[in-house]
Structures are given as structure tokens and as C-alpha cells.
């Protein structure tokens, strides 16, 4: 609580101004509509005697920053996590303990599938040859076995991977998969943009970096917008076995795709692109843990997509946008609302891809109310229970 106590001089200090800027940025990442005017008013509140009474300042900030009921419901938790010393330490514990009993954080979900045993037998076990050996033959065997493990992981349902090292390898492969998808899609996009006429001026300008040699011929043609991916990731309790790998896959997408946005939803929607823009995956998960409290609970897909359509769609969607939803379709909300919001979303974007890990389960049928309501508006309904199914998405994206 001492983090908020300061004197009442006009100059509140650079450190506290930076703290306030970080708090405003956290509110924006959580969907709050906060502008320069609200920030200036918050500075004025910090210069007032309220700064020595944190709980009263909290109420003033709540009245200033909250314009919707959802903002009001989420504000106290964000404020406590960011400003109070105990709350800040508890938030950093997203690596370990959850700040709420029974509610999991992103980092816990990333490790949850390592420790849970919900699926049938079929563990991916470590094989011999993993210990270091100076002998060249042993190194060759280890490489072969590593390739074999990668092949096995590609075909193994994420919920059946129980070995910690195998799960960490799956996380790394998911990020690498996103990078390779980006490389190949970029190469195909360049080939597709080749026109019949040579652009002499741009060719000469481009050749300067090669000493004046026109190594690459640039042709004229219609300039198309790059493919943009907007990912909506379900982090509800029913997705516990898959959220960890999916989070690393989405982190890889944002790390490699120049045009990409990511949102996480459970009972509410959170914009997490800024958190996942961290190059270090562990730090990205920590930041997501600060922003997305309540992970692992229920899910209201219809309300989440309604919030996306109302507050984010106009900003992040253009004519070449593919919206990718990673969810099992279990919805505790109104199926009719989900159907209506999916229809509105479909009118805005080029394609909607719904990746459902349950499709890989034997005997699965999309008969749940929410999933049935959403399917008529989905362009591609595909499995996402292992790495191979995620890789199969690339040829579809290349055609967009």
C-alpha cells in the first residue's frame, strides 16, 4: 500500500508518472477506453491529498476510468494487482500460485497438461540417448531419437503428453511451427504479387544495396494488403489440456506475423497482443497472467465475441483478415447470441477459422448448442489437438 503514498507537491516525480502510465496501459490492454484526458485527470488526483489515502484514490480512479459495467466489475482486481504491494507480488506469482483459489493463471495452464492425467494412456516418454556423450556415434543416435520424438509429438494429442520435457518440447515446436508458417506464407505472397510489367525505377533503387547489380527484378502489379490473423483463444476450464500449447503457438504467431492480433476470452475478453509481443515466452506468459485474471473458469463465447465486435473489430479487421477461434465450443451463454454475433463477425472479415481440439476425439459431434449456432458462419471447422493439425492450417491460409 505504501507504493501510493507521496507528498502533495505539484511535481509527483518521474517514477510515479511512469507507474501511472503503466497502469493506464494495463487498463487499455484490458479493454478500457482511456485517453489523454483521463490520464491528465488521474495525474491531478495523484497530486491531491487523496494520494495519501489509497482506498479513496481507488474509488476516484474507478469513477474516472470506468465507463461500462464490465469495466466496473474488472477495475478493482486490476487496481489491486498493479498498485498494492501485496497484489503486485501475487500477480507475479502467475508463475506459481494462483491469486484466487480454484482459478488458474496462464503460466499454470502452460504447465497444467504436464501434471494432469485426464486422457487415456499414450504418454510420450523420454527415450534413451538424451544424456550427453562425447562419442560421435552417441550424438548421432541422440539426433535421430530427437527427430523421432518430434515426429511422435506431431501426431500425439496434447492431452496425452504427460512427461514435462516432452510437453516443453511441444511448446517449442508450436512456436517454431508458427515461424515456419510465416516464412512460407511470405514467400508465396511475394510470388503471387509478381506482375507482368517490370518496374524499372524500383528495380534500380533496390539494386543500390547490391552495388548497382539488379539481382532482383521488381514488377508492377496491384498491391494487396498482407494477410492479417486475429486470434481469439478460449482459456476456460474445459480447455486446460490445450491452453498451454495454444498460448505458445499464438505467441509464435505474434512474434513472426507483422499483421496479427490476439485476444483471450473466458467470462470476459482481454486484448493480449501487447503481452505476447514479448520475445521471451516466459515473460509473455507472466504479463498475460497480470492481464487475464480468471483463466480456467467458465466461458461465455457469445458475450466475448459481442465485446470484440463492438470495441475491437473496426480497428483490427480489414479486407484480408482471417479470424481464428481456438475453442472447444462449450458455452454457458445464450446460443442465439453467439449465432448472431458470429454472423456479424462474418460480414466483417474475409474468413473465420474455428479450430476445435475435440474434433480429434473419437465419436465427437458438434451438437452442443453454442457450437451448432456458430457453425453456419464458419468457413473452416478443423481439428487442433496436435501439432500436425496446426501445421495443416498453412495451405488454407496460403490461398487467402
pLDDT digits over 309-365, tens only?
999 999 999 988 999 999 999 988 899 999 999 999 999 999 999 999 999 888 888
CA trace torsion 12, 17, 23, 25 (10° rounding): 160
- The CATH number of 228-398 is 3.40.50.410
User: For 273-298, what is each residue's pLDDT tens digit?
Assistant: 888 877 777 777 777 776 766 666 67
What are 3-12's pLDDT values in tens digits? 444 343 455 6
**With contact defined as beta carbons under 8 Å apart, do 43 and 12 qualify?**
yes
Q: Which ranges of 193-330 would DSSP assign to H, the alpha helix?
A: 200-207, 240-256, 273-276, 281-291, 301-311, 313-316
Q: Is the pLDDT of residue 113 over 80?
A: no
**Alpha carbon 6 to its chain's center:** 37
**Predicted pLDDT of residue 129:** 45
Query: What pLDDT is attached to residue 397?
Result: 84
Higher-scoring residue by pLDDT: 115, 247: 247
Model confidence, pTM: 0.60
Residues 1-43 have pLDDT tens digits of 444 443 434 556 777 888 888 888 888 877 788 888 888 888 8
% the chain with pLDDT above 90? 20
Dist. CA 73–CA 65, nearest whole Å: 12
Amino acid at each position: 500500500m505504501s507504493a501510493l503514498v507521496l507528498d502533495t507537491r505539484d511535481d509527483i516525480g518521474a517514477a510515479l508518472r511512469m507507474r501511472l502510465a503503466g497502469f493506464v496501459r494495463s487498463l487499455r490492454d484490458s479493454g478500457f477506453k482511456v485517453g489523454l484526458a483521463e490520464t491528465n485527470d488521474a495525474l491531478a488526483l495523484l497530486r491531491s491529498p487523496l494520494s495519501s489515502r489509497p482506498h479513496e484514490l481507488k474509488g476516484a480512479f474507478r469513477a474516472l476510468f470506468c465507463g461500462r459495467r464490465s469495466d466496473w466489475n474488472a477495475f478493482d482486481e486490476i487496481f489491486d494487482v498493479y498498485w498494492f504491494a501485496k497484489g503486485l507480488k501475487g500477480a507475479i506469482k502467475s508463475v506459481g500460485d494462483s491469486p484466487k483459489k480454484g482459478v488458474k493463471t496462464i503460466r499454470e495452464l502452460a504447465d497444467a497438461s504436464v501434471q494432469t492425467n485426464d486422457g487415456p494412456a499414450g504418454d510420450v516418454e523420454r527415450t534413451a540417448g538424451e544424456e550427453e556423450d562425447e562419442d560421435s556415434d552417441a550424438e548421432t543416435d541422440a539426433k535421430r531419437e530427437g527427430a523421432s520424438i518430434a515426429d511422435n509429438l506431431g501426431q500425439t494429442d496434447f492431452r496425452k503428453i504427460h512427461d514435462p520435457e516432452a510437453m516443453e518440447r511441444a511448446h517449442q515446436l508450436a512456436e517454431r511451427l508458427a515461424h515456419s508458417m510465416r516464412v512460407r506464407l511470405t514467400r508465396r505472397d511475394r510470388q503471387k504479387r509478381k506482375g507482368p510489367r517490370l518496374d524499372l525505377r524500383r528495380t534500380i533503387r533496390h539494386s543500390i544495396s547490391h552495388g548497382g547489380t539488379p539481382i532482383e527484378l521488381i514488377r508492377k502489379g496491384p498491391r494487396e494488403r498482407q494477410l492479417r490473423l486475429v486470434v481469439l483463444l478460449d482459456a476456460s476450464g474445459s480447455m486446460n489440456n490445450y491452453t498451454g500449447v495454444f498460448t505458445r503457438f499464438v505467441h509464435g504467431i505474434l512474434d513472426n506475423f507483422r499483421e496479427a492480433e490476439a485476444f483471450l476470452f473466458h467470462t470476459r475478453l482481454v486484448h493480449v497482443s501487447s503481452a505476447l509481443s514479448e520475445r521471451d515466452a516466459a515473460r509473455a506468459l507472466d504479463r498475460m497472467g497480470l492481464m487475464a485474471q480468471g483463466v480456467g473458469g467458465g466461458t461465455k463465447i457469445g458475450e466475448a465475441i459481442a465485446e470484440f465486435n463492438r470495441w475491437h473489430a473496426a480497428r483490427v479487421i480489414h479486407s484480408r483478415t482471417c479470424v481464428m477461434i481456438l475453442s472447444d465450443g462449450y458455452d454457458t451463454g445464450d446460443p442465439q447470441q453467439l449465432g448472431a454475433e458470429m454472423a456479424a463477425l462474418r460480414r466483417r472479415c474475409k474468413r473465420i477459422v474455428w479450430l476445435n481440439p475435440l474434433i480429434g476425439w473419437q465419436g465427437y459431434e458438434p451438437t452442443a448448442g453454442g457450437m451448432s449456432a456458430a457453425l453456419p458462419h464458419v468457413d473452416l471447422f478443423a481439428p487442433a489437438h496436435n501439432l500436425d493439425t496446426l501445421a495443416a492450417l498453412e495451405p488454407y491460409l496460403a490461398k487467402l
